[in-house]
Structure 1
Amino acid sequence: MKFGIATFVTDEGIRPTTLATALEERGFDSLFLAEHSHIPVSRETPYPAGGDLPRKYYRTLDPFVALSAAAAVTDRLLLATGVALLVQRDVIHTANEAASLDLLSDGRFALGVGVGWNREEMRNHGTDPRTRGSLLNEQLQALKLLWTEEQAEFHGRHVSFDPVFAWPKPVSEPHPPIYVGGESPAALARLAAYGDAWLPRGGTEPEEIRRVLAALAEQGRPDVPVTIFAADRDESRIEAWADAGVERVTFDLPTLPESETLKVLDELAESARRHAG
């Protein structure tokens, strides 16, 4: 099993370059970075985990910029969004950013996507929360065309553009892998139709992993890679995930200053070594 880190990089915590170097030194294989463009002052949408919204949500660096910095100081680390809020983004700009990062990192980029939860944040981007799922589905289709076609064209309900030249193309073949986040029926349908890998959250039970993988196989999608997103250090659950066919576990790394982060990474690396192989 492989082990990586999922975290928020902010202006108050460890720098992405220092973090990425530390991850490679400790044998982690991946870095998944969260995205929030801003947090509206007036919020009605409750924080999914309950309680007050943590400070890190207010201060998140752009993940594509942070991952580009990480790419410059690493050689092996998989650089991923976890997750990019694509429904709040222009799809052509995102295709260019992702392809550029994939090119500059020599094919080490993966696009983790999700529909998001903060409805006020979405509305500020002109996104209707009620149709964000169908919007994301169209965006994923359009992304693949922009990445792979010499003249890309797409016409859907939410996304539409006439033939365009969109360069650079990614170096990953056929394109950077798309990791679909979520465990809802809509997210799993999205995974089956448009995803290359599944990114379930750390609370997902091993039996649910088995059930979903079996259902994907019945739909003609066997061997879909699974990366657990933002897990804690539950030793028995890690073993059960491995038995269920999970390829990678990313530990949830708190956003802390450099010295404190490095201490936590040492502890997480020890847990990873006990289960690697």
Structure 2
Amino acid sequence: MKFGVSTFITDQGIAPAPLGRAIEERGLDSLLIAEHTHIPVERRSPYPGGGELPEIYYRTLDPFVALSAVAAVTERILLGTGIALVVQRDPIITAKEVASLDLVSGGRFIFGVGIGWNEEEMENHGANPRTRGRLVDERLRAMRELWTKEKAEFHGEFVDFDPVYSWPKPVQRPHPPIYVGGGEGAFKRVASFGDAWLANSRGAEELAPKIERLRGVAGRDVPVTVYAVEKKPEIVEQYTQLDVERLLFSLPTMPEAETLAYLDELAGVAERFR
């Protein structure tokens, strides 16, 4: 099993470059970071974790900028969005950002995607929450055209453009792996677009039957990466009994010294299960 890190990079915690170096130095294999463009002051959408929305959601750095900084100081670790909110993103610009980051990182980018939960946030981007699933699927199809065709063209319900040139193309072919986040409602999206399922850490016992159902829907052996796993060895042990490719340890957003100490602990737990 592989072990990486999932976290929120903000203006109040460790900077991207030292974080990336520290993860690589400790033998962990990946860094996936969250995205929120903004948080509306007035919000109807309940926080999925319950209670008040944590401050880190208000302060995230742009993931492509942050991961570019990490790419510049690392050589091995995979760099990913966990997740990019495609419902809020122009597909032509996002395709360019994905391809550019894959290029500058030497083919180490993972495009983690999802539809999001904060309806007011997506409405501020002009997206209708009731059609966000169809919108995300269409934007992903359009981006695949931009990544793989010399003259890309797309005509759909939400995305429409005549033939265009778009470079650079991604280093990874046909494009960087797409990790689809979400619950069972995302299984059809995983089947259509996913190189892996990015599953929330709801416990190994709950996850096992979902993996079986996902693979039934997809008709293939979809790899699974579990997001935001606690560092407790007994929890990791449970996941090792499942057919899971990677666990992403949840890293709290903290200043540099505290983060480095916490990463030492994560690396120690990972080493026990290698």
Is the aligned partner of 1:262 residue 2:260? yes
Pairs within 5 Å for 1:22-171: 22-171=22-171
On the 8 A contact 1:207/1:244 being kept in 2, the answer is: no
Partner residue of 2:207?
208
On the 8 A contact 2:110/2:177 being kept in 1, the answer is: yes
| CA distance in structure 1 between the partners assigned to 2:219 and 2:227 by the alignment | 24
| CA distance in structure 1 between the partners assigned to 2:218 and 2:249 by the alignment | 30
On the 8 A contact 1:210/1:245 being kept in 2, the answer is: no
Partner residue of 1:273?
271
Tell me the alpha carbon deviations over residues 25-58 of structure 1, each in whole angstroms, 9 at most, x when there is no partner. Answer: 1111000010000111111111111111111111
TM-score by length of 2: 0.96
Is the aligned partner of 1:196 residue 2:206? no
Please tell me the root mean square deviation across aligned C-alpha atoms, in Å. Answer: 1.4
Give secondary structure in 1 for the equivalent of 2:84. Answer: coil
| CA distance in structure 1 between the partners assigned to 2:38 and 2:214 by the alignment | 37
Farther-moved stretch of structure 1 (260-269 vs 62-71): 260-269
Partner residue of 2:21?
21
| CA distance in structure 1 between the partners assigned to 2:109 and 2:218 by the alignment | 27
| CA distance in structure 2 between the partners assigned to 1:215 and 1:11 by the alignment | 37
Farther-moved stretch of structure 1 (22-31 vs 148-157): 148-157
Tell me the alpha carbon deviations over residues 156-187 of structure 1, each in whole angstroms, 9 at most, x when there is no partner. Answer: 111121111111000101110000001123x0
| CA distance in structure 2 between the partners assigned to 1:263 and 1:270 by the alignment | 11
| CA distance in structure 1 between the partners assigned to 2:117 and 2:217 by the alignment | 30
Unpaired runs of at least 5, structure 1: none
Runs of 4+ in 1 over 6 A off after TM superposition: none
Q: Given the superposition, is the C-alpha separation of residues 215 and 115 from structure 1 closer, same or farther in structure 2, using an over 3 Å criterion?
A: closer
Unpaired runs of at least 5, structure 2: none
Q: 1:240 aligns with which of 238, 245, 249?
A: 238
| CA distance in structure 1 between the partners assigned to 2:32 and 2:43 by the alignment | 26
| CA distance in structure 1 between the partners assigned to 2:203 and 2:188 by the alignment | 17
User: Identity across aligned pairs (percent)?
Assistant: 59
Q: Given the superposition, is the C-alpha separation of residues 218 and 199 from structure 1 closer, same or farther in structure 2, using an over 3 Å criterion?
A: closer
